[in-house]
Structure 1
Amino acid sequence: MAHTPDDASDTRVEGGSLVGGQFDPTTVEAVGKLSAALETVEVARGHLYQFHRLSGTADFEVEEAIGLLRKAGHAEFADELETHLLGRNVLPGRWTFQVVEGYDETYYQPFRGFEERSRQLTGGHRHLYEAQLKRDRRSPGVPGHEATPASST
Protein backbone atom coordinates (compact mmCIF):
# COMPACT_ATOMS: atom_id res chain seq x y z
CA MET A 1 0.00 0.00 0.00
CA ALA A 2 1.46 3.34 -1.00
CA HIS A 3 1.89 6.00 1.67
CA THR A 4 0.89 9.56 0.86
CA PRO A 5 1.28 12.16 3.65
CA ASP A 6 -1.83 14.15 2.73
CA ASP A 7 -3.56 14.12 6.08
CA ALA A 8 -2.85 16.77 8.73
CA SER A 9 -2.78 14.06 11.41
CA ASP A 10 -0.40 11.93 9.32
CA THR A 11 2.49 12.30 11.74
CA ARG A 12 4.40 10.36 14.37
CA VAL A 13 6.21 11.47 17.51
CA GLU A 14 9.82 10.86 18.49
CA GLY A 15 10.86 11.42 22.10
CA GLY A 16 7.62 13.22 22.85
CA SER A 17 8.13 15.95 20.28
CA LEU A 18 7.62 16.32 16.57
CA VAL A 19 10.83 15.35 14.80
CA GLY A 20 11.03 15.14 11.04
CA GLY A 21 7.27 14.67 10.83
CA GLN A 22 7.46 11.51 12.95
CA PHE A 23 6.60 10.55 16.56
CA ASP A 24 8.16 7.67 18.51
CA PRO A 25 6.02 4.62 17.62
CA THR A 26 6.11 3.15 21.14
CA THR A 27 4.94 6.45 22.64
CA VAL A 28 2.17 6.69 20.04
CA GLU A 29 1.10 3.12 20.82
CA ALA A 30 1.16 3.71 24.59
CA VAL A 31 -0.92 6.89 24.32
CA GLY A 32 -3.26 5.06 21.95
CA LYS A 33 -3.67 2.22 24.46
CA LEU A 34 -4.46 4.71 27.23
CA SER A 35 -7.02 6.42 24.97
CA ALA A 36 -8.55 3.02 24.15
CA ALA A 37 -8.74 2.28 27.87
CA LEU A 38 -10.56 5.58 28.40
CA GLU A 39 -13.02 4.60 25.68
CA THR A 40 -13.68 1.38 27.63
CA VAL A 41 -14.18 3.41 30.80
CA GLU A 42 -16.63 5.65 28.90
CA VAL A 43 -18.66 2.56 27.96
CA ALA A 44 -18.55 1.33 31.57
CA ARG A 45 -19.69 4.75 32.75
CA GLY A 46 -22.57 4.61 30.27
CA HIS A 47 -23.59 1.26 31.69
CA LEU A 48 -23.40 2.72 35.17
CA TYR A 49 -25.75 5.54 34.13
CA GLN A 50 -28.02 2.92 32.55
CA PHE A 51 -27.97 1.02 35.86
CA HIS A 52 -28.89 4.29 37.60
CA ARG A 53 -31.80 4.95 35.23
CA LEU A 54 -33.10 1.38 35.28
CA SER A 55 -32.94 1.15 39.07
CA GLY A 56 -34.85 4.42 39.37
CA THR A 57 -37.44 3.22 36.88
CA ALA A 58 -37.86 -0.01 38.85
CA ASP A 59 -38.43 2.00 42.05
CA PHE A 60 -41.22 4.00 40.37
CA GLU A 61 -42.73 0.75 39.07
CA VAL A 62 -42.66 -0.69 42.62
CA GLU A 63 -44.53 2.43 43.73
CA GLU A 64 -47.18 1.77 41.07
CA ALA A 65 -47.42 -1.88 42.14
CA ILE A 66 -47.94 -0.79 45.73
CA GLY A 67 -50.86 1.39 44.70
CA LEU A 68 -52.41 -1.41 42.66
CA LEU A 69 -51.96 -3.91 45.50
CA ARG A 70 -53.73 -1.54 47.87
CA LYS A 71 -56.52 -1.04 45.33
CA ALA A 72 -56.85 -4.84 45.03
CA GLY A 73 -57.18 -5.22 48.81
CA HIS A 74 -53.63 -6.35 49.65
CA ALA A 75 -52.79 -3.46 51.97
CA GLU A 76 -50.57 -5.48 54.31
CA PHE A 77 -48.27 -6.63 51.48
CA ALA A 78 -48.35 -3.13 49.96
CA ASP A 79 -47.30 -1.67 53.32
CA GLU A 80 -44.46 -4.19 53.57
CA LEU A 81 -43.20 -3.28 50.08
CA GLU A 82 -43.47 0.42 50.84
CA THR A 83 -41.51 0.03 54.08
CA HIS A 84 -38.83 -2.42 52.97
CA LEU A 85 -38.38 -2.07 49.19
CA LEU A 86 -39.54 1.33 47.93
CA GLY A 87 -36.61 3.76 48.10
CA ARG A 88 -34.22 1.09 49.34
CA ASN A 89 -30.47 1.65 49.01
CA VAL A 90 -28.82 -0.34 46.20
CA LEU A 91 -25.57 -0.51 48.19
CA PRO A 92 -25.13 0.17 51.91
CA GLY A 93 -26.03 3.82 52.44
CA ARG A 94 -26.18 4.58 48.70
CA TRP A 95 -28.73 5.22 46.03
CA THR A 96 -27.59 4.88 42.44
CA PHE A 97 -26.91 8.61 41.99
CA GLN A 98 -24.37 8.34 44.80
CA VAL A 99 -22.74 5.35 43.10
CA VAL A 100 -22.49 7.33 39.85
CA GLU A 101 -21.07 10.38 41.65
CA GLY A 102 -18.54 8.24 43.52
CA TYR A 103 -17.39 6.59 40.30
CA ASP A 104 -17.09 9.93 38.53
CA GLU A 105 -15.10 11.58 41.31
CA THR A 106 -12.95 8.62 42.36
CA TYR A 107 -12.13 7.00 39.03
CA TYR A 108 -13.55 8.61 35.89
CA GLN A 109 -12.32 12.19 36.32
CA PRO A 110 -8.75 11.19 37.30
CA PHE A 111 -8.66 8.72 34.39
CA ARG A 112 -9.71 11.44 31.93
CA GLY A 113 -7.05 13.74 33.37
CA PHE A 114 -4.28 11.19 32.86
CA GLU A 115 -5.44 10.41 29.33
CA GLU A 116 -5.48 14.12 28.50
CA ARG A 117 -2.00 14.57 29.99
CA SER A 118 -0.70 11.63 27.95
CA ARG A 119 -1.42 13.54 24.76
CA GLN A 120 1.33 15.99 25.71
CA LEU A 121 3.68 13.16 24.72
CA THR A 122 2.30 13.25 21.18
CA GLY A 123 2.21 16.98 20.59
CA GLY A 124 -1.38 17.28 21.79
CA HIS A 125 -2.70 15.11 18.97
CA ARG A 126 -5.80 13.05 19.69
CA HIS A 127 -6.18 9.58 18.19
CA LEU A 128 -2.71 9.68 16.67
CA TYR A 129 -2.46 5.89 16.83
CA GLU A 130 -5.71 5.55 14.87
CA ALA A 131 -4.58 8.21 12.38
CA GLN A 132 -1.45 6.13 11.80
CA LEU A 133 -3.58 3.02 11.27
CA LYS A 134 -5.75 4.92 8.81
CA ARG A 135 -2.69 6.09 6.92
CA ASP A 136 -1.23 2.59 6.83
CA ARG A 137 -4.47 0.83 5.85
CA ARG A 138 -6.10 3.14 3.36
CA SER A 139 -5.68 2.82 -0.40
CA PRO A 140 -4.92 6.31 -1.77
CA GLY A 141 -6.98 7.25 -4.78
CA VAL A 142 -9.66 4.63 -4.08
CA PRO A 143 -13.17 5.95 -3.29
CA GLY A 144 -13.99 5.51 0.39
CA HIS A 145 -10.31 5.71 1.34
CA GLU A 146 -9.88 9.50 1.25
CA ALA A 147 -7.43 10.95 3.77
CA THR A 148 -9.75 13.77 4.91
CA PRO A 149 -13.42 14.74 4.46
CA ALA A 150 -12.35 17.63 2.19
CA SER A 151 -10.49 15.27 -0.15
CA SER A 152 -13.60 13.13 -0.60
CA THR A 153 -15.66 15.85 -2.28
Structure 2
Amino acid sequence: YSDTKRSVPSSASPTTPTTPGGSRRRQSTKEIALEKNDFIAPQFTDKLKDLKIKDGESLTLKAVVTGDPEPHIQWLKNGKPLSSSDIIDLKYKSGVASLNINEVFPEDEGDYECIATNSEGKESTKCKLTIIPMEEKPKETGPSKPPRIVDHLTSGSVSDGSP
Protein backbone atom coordinates (compact mmCIF):
# COMPACT_ATOMS: atom_id res chain seq x y z
CA TYR A 1 0.00 0.00 0.00
CA SER A 2 1.19 3.52 -0.60
CA ASP A 3 0.23 6.82 0.96
CA THR A 4 -2.28 8.76 -1.07
CA LYS A 5 -2.39 12.54 -1.38
CA ARG A 6 -5.60 14.31 -2.17
CA SER A 7 -6.36 17.99 -2.78
CA VAL A 8 -9.10 19.25 -0.50
CA PRO A 9 -10.57 22.78 -0.47
CA SER A 10 -9.97 24.53 2.85
CA SER A 11 -12.85 26.23 4.58
CA ALA A 12 -13.66 29.62 3.05
CA SER A 13 -13.75 32.57 5.43
CA PRO A 14 -15.39 35.96 4.85
CA THR A 15 -13.14 39.02 4.72
CA THR A 16 -13.75 42.74 5.00
CA PRO A 17 -16.53 43.95 2.71
CA THR A 18 -15.29 45.89 -0.32
CA THR A 19 -18.63 47.22 -1.50
CA PRO A 20 -21.80 48.01 0.42
CA GLY A 21 -23.69 44.69 0.96
CA GLY A 22 -20.89 42.66 -0.69
CA SER A 23 -18.11 40.53 0.70
CA ARG A 24 -15.00 38.91 -0.56
CA ARG A 25 -14.09 35.26 0.05
CA ARG A 26 -10.75 33.58 -0.16
CA GLN A 27 -10.31 29.90 -1.00
CA SER A 28 -7.15 27.82 -1.03
CA THR A 29 -6.26 24.17 -1.53
CA LYS A 30 -4.38 21.96 0.93
CA GLU A 31 -2.84 18.55 0.39
CA ILE A 32 -3.44 15.94 3.05
CA ALA A 33 -1.79 12.54 3.30
CA LEU A 34 -4.16 9.63 3.92
CA GLU A 35 -2.97 6.86 6.22
CA LYS A 36 -2.05 3.48 4.81
CA ASN A 37 -4.96 1.12 4.39
CA ASP A 38 -5.15 -1.11 7.47
CA PHE A 39 -7.69 -3.48 5.90
CA ILE A 40 -6.71 -7.11 5.36
CA ALA A 41 -7.89 -9.55 2.69
CA PRO A 42 -9.55 -12.75 3.96
CA GLN A 43 -7.23 -15.60 4.89
CA PHE A 44 -8.15 -19.08 6.12
CA THR A 45 -6.06 -20.02 9.16
CA ASP A 46 -7.79 -23.41 9.51
CA LYS A 47 -8.84 -24.89 6.16
CA LEU A 48 -11.37 -27.57 5.22
CA LYS A 49 -10.08 -31.15 5.11
CA ASP A 50 -11.28 -34.11 3.02
CA LEU A 51 -13.64 -36.28 5.01
CA LYS A 52 -15.18 -39.76 4.86
CA ILE A 53 -18.25 -40.46 7.00
CA LYS A 54 -20.91 -43.15 7.15
CA ASP A 55 -24.36 -42.77 5.64
CA GLY A 56 -26.73 -41.54 8.38
CA GLU A 57 -24.07 -39.82 10.53
CA SER A 58 -23.98 -36.08 11.26
CA LEU A 59 -21.56 -33.78 9.44
CA THR A 60 -19.81 -30.60 10.55
CA LEU A 61 -17.40 -28.76 8.25
CA LYS A 62 -15.48 -25.87 9.88
CA ALA A 63 -13.06 -23.26 8.57
CA VAL A 64 -11.43 -20.41 10.50
CA VAL A 65 -11.00 -17.15 8.58
CA THR A 66 -9.52 -13.73 9.36
CA GLY A 67 -9.93 -10.44 7.52
CA ASP A 68 -10.81 -6.80 7.97
CA PRO A 69 -13.46 -5.77 7.22
CA GLU A 70 -15.13 -8.98 8.39
CA PRO A 71 -15.55 -11.28 5.38
CA HIS A 72 -18.86 -12.36 3.83
CA ILE A 73 -19.05 -16.19 3.78
CA GLN A 74 -20.56 -18.33 1.02
CA TRP A 75 -20.73 -22.14 0.81
CA LEU A 76 -20.82 -24.14 -2.44
CA LYS A 77 -21.44 -27.82 -3.15
CA ASN A 78 -20.12 -29.01 -6.52
CA GLY A 79 -19.91 -25.34 -7.58
CA LYS A 80 -23.53 -24.49 -6.67
CA PRO A 81 -24.42 -22.06 -3.83
CA LEU A 82 -25.87 -23.51 -0.62
CA SER A 83 -28.20 -21.79 1.83
CA SER A 84 -29.49 -22.68 5.29
CA SER A 85 -32.54 -24.95 5.30
CA ASP A 86 -34.16 -27.70 7.37
CA ILE A 87 -31.37 -30.00 6.20
CA ILE A 88 -28.29 -27.72 6.11
CA ASP A 89 -27.33 -25.23 8.84
CA LEU A 90 -24.79 -22.57 7.77
CA LYS A 91 -23.24 -20.31 10.43
CA TYR A 92 -20.52 -17.69 10.70
CA LYS A 93 -19.51 -16.31 14.08
CA SER A 94 -16.25 -14.92 15.48
CA GLY A 95 -14.24 -15.95 12.43
CA VAL A 96 -15.55 -19.55 12.33
CA ALA A 97 -17.58 -20.62 9.29
CA SER A 98 -19.46 -23.89 9.74
CA LEU A 99 -21.76 -26.15 7.75
CA ASN A 100 -23.83 -28.75 9.64
CA ILE A 101 -25.99 -31.59 8.35
CA ASN A 102 -27.75 -33.70 11.03
CA GLU A 103 -28.00 -36.84 8.90
CA VAL A 104 -26.03 -37.33 5.69
CA PHE A 105 -27.22 -39.36 2.72
CA PRO A 106 -25.32 -40.61 -0.34
CA GLU A 107 -26.52 -37.56 -2.33
CA ASP A 108 -24.62 -35.28 0.12
CA GLU A 109 -21.33 -36.62 -1.24
CA GLY A 110 -19.32 -34.12 -3.29
CA ASP A 111 -16.91 -31.19 -3.31
CA TYR A 112 -17.61 -28.47 -0.73
CA GLU A 113 -16.10 -24.98 -0.85
CA CYS A 114 -16.15 -22.11 1.64
CA ILE A 115 -15.52 -18.66 0.11
CA ALA A 116 -14.65 -15.57 2.19
CA THR A 117 -14.93 -12.15 0.49
CA ASN A 118 -14.35 -8.58 1.67
CA SER A 119 -13.38 -5.26 0.08
CA GLU A 120 -9.71 -6.33 0.05
CA GLY A 121 -10.05 -9.68 -1.69
CA LYS A 122 -11.38 -13.21 -1.86
CA GLU A 123 -10.08 -16.52 -0.48
CA SER A 124 -11.49 -20.05 -0.54
CA THR A 125 -10.90 -23.48 0.94
CA LYS A 126 -12.21 -26.80 -0.43
CA CYS A 127 -12.74 -30.39 0.66
CA LYS A 128 -14.13 -33.61 -0.73
CA LEU A 129 -16.86 -35.39 1.25
CA THR A 130 -17.17 -39.13 0.73
CA ILE A 131 -20.20 -41.00 2.13
CA ILE A 132 -19.59 -44.62 3.12
CA PRO A 133 -22.74 -46.63 2.33
CA MET A 134 -24.62 -48.40 5.12
CA GLU A 135 -23.72 -52.06 5.41
CA GLU A 136 -26.60 -54.32 4.52
CA LYS A 137 -27.20 -57.25 6.86
CA PRO A 138 -25.76 -60.34 5.23
CA LYS A 139 -28.34 -62.86 4.14
CA GLU A 140 -28.06 -66.33 5.58
CA THR A 141 -26.07 -68.55 3.31
CA GLY A 142 -26.13 -72.28 2.83
CA PRO A 143 -29.05 -74.67 2.42
CA SER A 144 -32.35 -73.73 4.01
CA LYS A 145 -33.30 -75.70 7.10
CA PRO A 146 -36.44 -77.87 7.18
CA PRO A 147 -39.18 -77.00 9.69
CA ARG A 148 -38.69 -78.28 13.23
CA ILE A 149 -41.43 -79.86 15.36
CA VAL A 150 -41.53 -78.06 18.69
CA ASP A 151 -44.66 -79.72 20.20
CA HIS A 152 -46.69 -82.78 19.21
CA LEU A 153 -50.38 -82.48 18.37
CA THR A 154 -52.93 -83.70 20.91
CA SER A 155 -56.57 -84.67 20.42
CA GLY A 156 -59.30 -82.80 22.21
CA SER A 157 -62.98 -81.84 21.92
CA VAL A 158 -64.48 -78.43 22.35
CA SER A 159 -68.15 -77.50 22.63
CA ASP A 160 -69.49 -74.66 20.53
CA GLY A 161 -68.99 -71.23 22.18
CA SER A 162 -66.24 -72.40 24.59
CA PRO A 163 -63.06 -70.43 24.85
- TM-score, normalised with respect to structure 2: 0.23
- TM-score, normalised with respect to structure 1: 0.24
> Comparing both structures, which one devotes a greater share of its residues to helix?
1
Whose RCO is larger (CA < 8 A, sep 6+)?
1
